[in-house]
């Protein structure tokens, strides 16, 4: 079984809809991250969390919110989806400590019409 | 401002050629880490290497090698005797304490290896 899972893997939605992307991990890591990938732009950080009570905004948090329901779960919400949020979304985890390797989920491809 | 610059957007080589992917970074931290990830056409992100700012030794892993030079703020990646399976997008990334050790990615270099 995969250590970092994301659901759904693909989603098509309409402008204005609320949508939640979920991430779960079995690695026992404290740190979790959400990134989005756009063609030609690399990956950009949306939010990150060091533990259940510690959530921080990343470079492009506007239009997004997150919830760390448990150590193993980190959800990303789009309250009112818009077309320019069409992208590939990745969740990642890493252990505590400094500068550790991040382990990525398989990604969620989101299309907002 | 872009902290990690991968100037080569796309590279195309013929199988068995050597290819170097460039990465230039910018940071004020004295302690930082650099990473390379591979994203094959299937889309997943595959970790290749992590290097800390105090270790300037070059590293070799099979056909892959990395050249870290603090003097030029570069962390270049060379594939020797490239193969078709090396075709992917390669990302260089920087980790700094000031951003919660999140990865600051370059825009990636798309490598196409043709037979």
Taking only residues 69 to 88 of chain A, the set having a beta carbon closer than 8 angstroms to any beta carbon of chain B reads 88
Q: What is the DSSP letter of A15?
A: T
Q: pLDDT at residue B35 above 90? A: yes
**What mean pLDDT comes out for the span A52-57?**
93
Q: pLDDT at residue B7 above 80? A: yes
DSSP reduced 3-state for B53: coil
**Predicted pLDDT of residue B34:** 94
A106 part of contact set with chain B, CB < 8 Å = yes
Using alpha carbons only, what angle is made at residue A58 by residues A54 and A59, rounded to the nearest 5 degrees? 170
**Predicted pLDDT of residue A88:** 97
| CA nearest to A98 within chain B | B101
The closest alpha carbon to A105, from A19, A26, A18, A12, belongs to A26
User: Could you tell me the pLDDT band of residue B49, with boundaries at 50, 70 and 90?
Assistant: very high
Best mutation site among B102, B107, B108, B109 for testing chain A: the one with the most A CBs within 10 Å? Answer: B102
User: Could you tell me the pLDDT band of residue A2, with boundaries at 50, 70 and 90?
Assistant: low
Q: Which two tokens stand for residue B33?
A: 């880490």
Q: pLDDT at residue B24 above 90? A: yes
A103 part of contact set with chain B, CB < 8 Å = yes
Q: pLDDT at residue A1 above 70? A: no
**What mean pLDDT comes out for the span A3-7?**
96
User: Could you tell me the pLDDT band of residue B57, with boundaries at 50, 70 and 90?
Assistant: confident
% residues pLDDT > 70 (chain B): 98
Residues contacting residue B62 through CB under 8 Å, at least 6 positions apart: none
Write the residue in B35, B44, B100 that is nearest to A48 by C-beta.
Answer: B100
Residue numbers in B near A102 (CB within 8 A): 47, 103
**What mean pLDDT comes out for the span A58-68?**
95
Residue numbers in A near B45 (CB within 8 A): 90, 104
Q: pLDDT at residue B99 above 80? A: no
**What mean pLDDT comes out for the span B55-73?**
90
How far apart, in Å, are the Cα atoms of B90 and each of A71, B47, B99?
A: 30, 10, 22
Q: pLDDT at residue B102 above 80? A: yes
Write the residue in B33, B95, B106 that is nearest to A42 by C-beta.
Answer: B106
Structural contact between residues B11 and B78, judged by C-beta atoms closer than 8 angstroms: no
**Predicted pLDDT of residue B23:** 97
DSSP annotation string for A19-39: EEEEEEESS--SEEEEEEEET
To the nearest whole Å, the CA of A83 is away from the closest chain B CA by 21
**Predicted pLDDT of residue A56:** 93
**Predicted pLDDT of residue B59:** 85
Q: pLDDT at residue B88 above 80? A: yes
**Predicted pLDDT of residue B98:** 78
| CA nearest to A99 within chain B | B101
Residue count of chain B? 115
Write the residue in B47, B91, B95 that is nearest to A99 by C-beta.
Answer: B95
**Predicted pLDDT of residue A98:** 67
């Amino acid at each position: 079984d995969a250590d970092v899972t994301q659901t759904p893997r693909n989603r098509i939605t309409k402008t204005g809809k609320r949508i939640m992307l979920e991430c779960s991990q079995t690695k026992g890591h404290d740190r979790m991250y959400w990134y989005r990938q756009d063609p030609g732009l690399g990956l950009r950080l949306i939010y990150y969390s060091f533990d259940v009570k510690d959530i921080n905004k990343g470079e492009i948090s506007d239009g997004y919110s997150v919830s760390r329901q448990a150590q193993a779960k980190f959800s990303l919400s789009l309250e009112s989806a818009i077309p320019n949020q069409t992208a590939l979304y990745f969740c990642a985890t890493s252990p505590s400590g400094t500068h550790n390797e991040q382990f990525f989920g398989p990604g969620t491809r989101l299309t907002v019409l | 401002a872009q902290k990690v610059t991968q100037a080569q957007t796309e590279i195309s080589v013929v199988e068995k050629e050597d290819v170097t992917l460039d990465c230039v970074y910018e940071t004020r931290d004295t302690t930082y880490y650099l990473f390379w990830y591979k994203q094959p056409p299937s889309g997943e992100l595959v970790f290749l290497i992590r290097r800390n700012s105090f270790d300037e030794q070059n590293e070799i892993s099979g056909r892959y090698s990395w050249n870290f030079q603090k003097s030029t703020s570069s962390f270049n990646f060379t594939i020797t005797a490239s193969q078709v399976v090396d075709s992917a997008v390669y990302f260089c990334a920087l980790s700094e304490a000031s951003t919660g050790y999140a990865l600051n990615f370059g825009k990636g270099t798309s490598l196409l290896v043709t037979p």
